[in-house]
Structure 1
Amino acid sequence: MSIQVCAPALVIRRCCSEDVHAMLPLMRQLRYPTTPSVLKERLSMLEGHDQLCSLVAEVDGVVIGTIFLKQHQTHDMVKPVTRITAMVVDEKHRGNGIGKRLLLEAESWGRQRCSSQMFVSVAGDNNLTSKSFYEYSGFTCAGYRLSKDL
């Protein structure tokens, strides 16, 4: 008699507007104030957009992480770059490699679109864990981010 153990299945896929209710708790963990209708509108905007992407990580059909990407190119760039505009893994699932898998899929998305680099901005005193995660994942820290409200 053999015992079969079923490990949870991790799936990384494109996000869609129907994921809105699964995404709301993740947005709150990012301290991103939003409503279901606003988030649904923004997720709908991403669907089919060539330079914007949102991926979700789900385990056994439950969304537990997401990453948002934007590709852009300016006049002084030979190739475009991909920016991570947001990334979060549900706090109950952190430390299990979910973030790393999201990053790998994001890198693949960027490479498929000929991006030469991926970058992310990490700001604030409470983001040392995020900064360490990105550095551990191969990112290098260079310079400071400056911004101005318009």
Structure 2
Amino acid sequence: MSSMVLAPALVIRRSCSGDVEQMLPLMRQLKYPTTPSVLYERLCILEKHAYLCSLVAELDGKLVGTTFLKQHQTHDMIRPVTQITAMVVDEKHRGTGVGRELVEAAEAWAREQGSNQLVLSAGGERNMLAKSFYEHMGFICQGYRLSKLINS
């Protein structure tokens, strides 16, 4: 009798407020400063919001990646656009297809919401690996992103 070895099962699902403890190390790899209580509050908001979504990649019960999505539409858009506002795959799992699965799940969510375009900002020159990954996934680099802090 031969023994069968099962490959780990990767599941992509919406995040929930119970994901805080496993999501914190991912946020730190992304260099995103947050605390458990702040992340908990944000995940609770995402659970109820129609135009915001957070997806997680879970490998045998352990979170190994996440992406945050935001959908918006302006007066001059025929269809809404979905923005990937953040995405990270645990450094031990990069290059294994987790990022591809997260992007494909983001595309599916965007389509369900009526969007036909994903946009993102890849973090400038310091993150050329991320830019290369997104280009490999079919993203096209166009233009420049400008921002301005507004004093209160």
Q: Which runs of 5+ in 1 are unaligned?
A: none
The CA deviation at 1:43 is 0.5
Equivalent residue number for residue 20 of structure 2: 20
Alpha-carbon distance between aligned partners in 1 of 2:2 and 2:23, rounded to the nearest angstrom: 39
What stretches of structure 2 of length at least 5 have no aligned partner?
none
Check if 1:83 corresponds to 2:83. yes
- CA deviation after TM superposition for structure 1 residue 48, in Å: 2.3
Aligned to 2:146: 146
TM-score scaled by length of structure 1: 0.98
CA RMSD of aligned residues (A): 0.7
**Following the alignment from structure 1 to structure 2, what is the Cα–Cα distance between the partners of residues 72 and 124?**
23
1:119 aligned to 2:145? Answer: no
How far, CA to CA, are the matches of 2:2 and 2:126 in structure 1?
Answer: 48
Matched pairs, number: 150
For the residues of structure 1 that align with 2:101 and 2:143, how far apart are their CA atoms? 27
Q: Distance in 2 between matches of 1:31 and 1:117?
A: 26
The residue identity in structure 2 corresponding to 1:110 is A
Percent identical: 66
